Amino acid sequence: MAAAKSKQNPIPSVWARTRREPDQPALSRAAIVREAVAMLDAEGIEALSMRKLGARLNAGATSLYRHVATKDELMELAVDEVAAEIHVPDADSPDWRAAAAEAAHSFRATALRHPWLSSVLGQAGLAYLGPNLMTFSERLAALFTAAGFPEPSRAIDAVLSYTIGMSTTEAAWLTTVARSGESEADFIARLLPAAQEAAAAHDHLAGAYTDAQAATTDPVALRDDKFAGSLEIVLDGLAMRLPH
């Protein structure tokens, strides 16, 4: 007698699972995800648990599992929820560089509003299968295709790798500042002597800490300028890939 075929393991993603339970008016998947995003924004990834989330919704964790099977699925849904905030200009924009920069700045702004986003984007299972991230990727692909890039996916990878990397570092910095209870300018002013001392023996680094006026008076403008300036370098490199 032939052995029965073993059942395949399910794909570990909320987007690959057929929903069997209809949303209940009192507790819907949308409501769960909205509250999860609010909790992530306020308290960070470490604080999020199905038990705590259920308490915030006045529901038991078991009720949540009727709509979201695991915490990993919840993170996929949360990532896709905030991805809807990222704006990508239309593909027929007259200046592809300006459009790509606008998309990158929008991604950064979203990541700074939700400091947990960048750090979990690559870890939240198959989050990129979500409808909002799919739309985001499709609009970027259309933009770079219309610009004439022979391999639009590589242009997307270059812009997103830079943007996610910078946003992750910046969000981590701002989280550290927030935990200090000080303003960013005050925190930098207190940290600066130690940074200058650490860099003093390094010729190429010491100069970066000699004039700290901009950092202590307008750190937001300084961060904006740093992101925009390095993004221009990325776009310069992409422009060289366009067929002449």
The more confidently predicted of residues 72 and 139 is 139
186 CB-contact burial (10 Å; exposed 0-12 / middle 13-18 / buried 19+): middle
User: Distance between CA 211 and CA 117 in Å, rounded?
Assistant: 32
Q: Which of 168, 38, 159 is nearest to 88 (CA)?
A: 159
The DSSP code for 115 is T
User: What is the domain partition of the chain in residue ranges?
Assistant: 24-69, 96-239
pLDDT per residue over 15-62, tens digit each?
776 655 544 456 899 999 999 999 999 998 888 999 999 899 988 878
How many residues can be counted in the chain? 244
pLDDT exceeds 60 at position 5: no
Q: What is the pTM of this model?
A: 0.84
Same fold, 24-69 and 96-239: no
- Could you give the C-alpha distances from 235 to 46, 94, 98, 185, in angstroms and in order? 36, 16, 10, 30
What top-level class would CATH report for the domain 96-239?
A: mainly alpha
Q: Which fold has domain 24-69?
A: Arc Repressor Mutant, subunit A (1.10.10)
pLDDT per residue over 224-239, tens digit each?
999 999 999 999 999 9
Contacts (Cβ under 8 Å, ≥6 apart) of 48:
36, 39, 40, 71, 74
